Amino acid sequence: MLSVLTIGLTCGIAAPAHAKATADLVTTTGRAGKTVALTFDDGPDPDNTPALLEVLHKYQVKAVFCLVGDQARNHPDLVRRIVLHGHTLCNHSMHHDDLGDWSAADIRADLLEASKAIREAVPGARIPYFRAPYGSWGQSPQVAADLGMQPLGWTVEVADWEQPGTSELVRRLNEQLTPGAVVLLHDGIGDRSQTVQAVDQVIPRWQAQDWIFTRPARPVQPSMIVLRLG
């Protein structure tokens, strides 16, 4: 007679399912080898975001867009374009405030409002990540996790808000790139044309060097498979 035994595995026999979000900051792709994830904060912006989307489309690269609720509400068409291009959404707070010393209740209200603003443009949109403005986390990681969003950090940050010049941004990106890196860049709140131009230069170079563009890691729960034993 055959018996059925169900066990949990973390290997790649079956496609893993995403587990509940945790309060741990994700700062890597979670994949071995030459992998990198591009993330863009503070948009959507009517000038920079369309230009960036064209660059990413040209090279068939997907990224994470960390959206500010105010910006999403002002530019719902751009939120829809981001989703239609196959990119991943991230909640970046409602007004881009420093949440570092806020109460958990106030943070929760802010994040819920920001997610609502995003979903006004794209009803039912999946928002798997949250990133705190200024990297000032306070109690927000646990609040975000309770709302189903994984706190998203970074490993590469090139201070593109300084507008040091496209060539300098390219140099910084090449210098800091490491396997599994999550790259922090910006497409909103100011002139980000240098960032767009830098991305247009580094993507083909990294692709030629066999780098794979992917998304930041998410917690994974063991896959459940059934073994039939004689």
Q: 23-74: per-residue pLDDT in tens?
A: 999 999 999 999 999 999 999 999 999 999 999 999 999 999 999 999 999 9
Integer angstrom CA distances of residue 199 from 51, 73, 78, 221: 11, 26, 19, 33
Q: Classify burial at 66, counting beta carbons within 10 Å of its beta carbon; exposed 0-12, middle 13-18, buried 19 or more.
A: buried
Q: Looking at residue 10, which CATH number applies to its domain?
A: 3.20.20.370
- Which residue has 């904060």 as its token pair? 41
Q: Which domain holds residue 178?
A: 3-229
User: What is the pLDDT at residue 1?
Assistant: 36
Of the residues 41, 110, 187, 200, which is catalytic?
A: 41
Of the residues 92, 96, 186, 187, which is catalytic?
A: 186
Q: Is the pTM of this model over 0.95?
A: no
Count of domains forming the chain: 1
User: What is the pLDDT at residue 20?
Assistant: 87
Residue 186 catalytic? yes
Q: 117-162: per-residue pLDDT in tens?
A: 999 999 999 999 999 999 999 999 999 999 999 999 999 999 999 9
User: What is the pLDDT at residue 218?
Assistant: 81
